[in-house]
Amino acid sequence: MNLPKPASVAAVVVAAGQGLRAGGTVPKQFAIWRGKPLVRHSVEALAKAGVAPIVVVIPANWEETAVEVLTGVPGVRFVHGAASRQGSVRAGLEALADDAPASVLIHDAARPDLPEAVIAALVAALVSQPGAIPVLPVVDSVVRGANGLRGAFVDRDGLYRVQTPQAFRFDAILAAHRAWGGAADAGDDAAVAETAGLAVALVPGDERLKKVTFAEDLKDDSMTPAAVRTGMGYDVHRLVEGEELWLCGLKIEHTKGLAGHSDADVAIHALVDALLGAVAAGDIGDHFPPSDAKWRGASSDRFLAHAATLVAEAGYTISNIDVTIICEAPKIGPHKSAMRARLAAILAIDIAAVSVKATTTERLGFTGRGEGIAAQAVATVIAKA
């Protein structure tokens, strides 16, 4: 999403609660949901949409955990929360005040699945209104009740379920929170805005923005065997003189290079097979046959990008990859960080989801004799929500 320019959009993600209703030994915002800490999902979605900076409001004494679970997400800052949600939101807003953005999104970390379309609708609404919130219509019948008995019917016309993030022009919502002061906790930030006389527009929400509240909510019912799939890949190429050595998309200086029809990047070839295997899309030879002259000397980056496209077309996203390079020489250690970064860039995933390792065979076999390099890879993909 391209946010309106020159207006800047920042975010405050409220993750300061203890999450006691969700059980466990850590606050629920740091618990694992769909393979990642709960808070990381929405923070990544905001960062991907171009929102920056993102102030994450955390409980005291949980700084180390917060930094760990959000490592690699750009533009993140941390601030301690308060005893109430409203106090925590104000702490986040005050942290932005010295370099105030034009507008701000205030979001609850307990709503991890944040669609980009909702972000775009909220930002667009701020062109004409000082505030905007995502809502969904109430579709079920509504009644009052008392003592376990049905009471009067309530007309659901004009009733909406309110979600987050809630969007505001920054100066206006900061002033509203400052004016709220020590009053009782508000239901949400829209209530604070309306108390200050600000109009709040309604934009379409999304059912994906459901709130994770209880322990059973963390048991991701979409994580069935069909929703999580794993593929494995293995490849070998000979080391010969007069060839370039390419590994994980990087050219490595060495006395020999790998021989093959393409650039013979054995690590990428193994990874391509792992990704294709995860979505049952054949193997690298099916898509890039060595008998086809057009692939002679081709960069293996193209093979990997194609595999990532097939994963997406199959309805999956890449959760993580793990590549092991097997050789006596060259030494892989000095290049691992750059290799991780290159693979992450080709696949358009976070570097935190990329592992590159190396090992030897203790001078046994063809790799031990320096005759070639082998690589194996494992890739895990997750069905899109």
By the 8 A CB rule, do 10 and 55 touch?
yes
By the 8 A CB rule, do 172 and 131 touch?
yes
Residue type, 108: D
pLDDT at 24: 58
pLDDT at 2: 45
228-240 and 257-258 strand pairing: antiparallel
Strands (E), the chain: 9-14, 32-33, 36-37, 54-58, 76-80, 103-108, 131-137, 142-146, 149-154, 160-162, 166-169, 200-204, 228-240, 245-247, 250-252, 257-258, 316-326, 354-359, 372-383
Q: What is the pTM of this model?
A: 0.59
pLDDT at 227: 80
Which of 201, 206, 13 lies closest to 116 in space, CA to CA?
206
**Cα 29 from Cα 15, distance rounded (Å):** 6
By the 8 A CB rule, do 70 and 76 touch?
yes
Look-up of token digits 């301690």: 80
**Cα 222 from Cα 41, distance rounded (Å):** 15
Q: Which whole-number Å values give the CA distances from 328 to 85, 238, 239, 323, 340, in the listed order?
A: 56, 13, 11, 16, 20
Q: pLDDT under 70 in the chain at which residues?
A: 1-7, 19-25, 182-184, 214-226, 385
Alpha helices in the chain (DSSP H): 38-48, 63-69, 85-96, 116-125, 170-180, 189-195, 215-218, 266-278, 284-287, 300-313, 336-347, 365-368
Q: What is the pLDDT of residues 74-99, one digit of tens each?
A: 999 999 999 888 999 999 999 999 99
pLDDT at 10: 97
Q: Which whole-number Å values give the CA distances from 336 to 133, 150, 308, 333, 340, in the listed order?
A: 44, 65, 21, 5, 6
By the 8 A CB rule, do 144 and 158 touch?
no
- Burial of 336: CB neighbours in 10 Å, binned 0-12, 13-18, 19+: middle
By the 8 A CB rule, do 129 and 83 touch?
no
Which of 111, 97, 102 lies closest to 45 in space, CA to CA?
111
User: Residue 60 pairs with which residues in a beta bridge?
Assistant: none
Structural domains of the chain, with CATH: 9-218 (3.90.550.10), 228-383 (3.30.1330.50)
Q: Give the SS3 label for residue 1.
A: coil
Q: Which whole-number Å values give the CA distances from 288 to 6, 46, 293, 300, 305, in the listed order?
A: 45, 36, 10, 10, 13
pLDDT at 224: 46
Before 165, cis peptide (omega within 30)? Answer: yes
pLDDT at 104: 98
**Cα 9 from Cα 103, distance rounded (Å):** 5
By the 8 A CB rule, do 354 and 308 touch?
no
User: Residue 246 pairs with which residues in a beta bridge?
Assistant: 251
Show the CA angle centred on residue 204, arms to residues 38 and 126, nearest 5°.
90
**Cα 29 from Cα 17, distance rounded (Å):** 8
> Tokens representing 243?
């060839």
Which of 92, 95, 102, 160 lies closest to 130 in space, CA to CA?
102
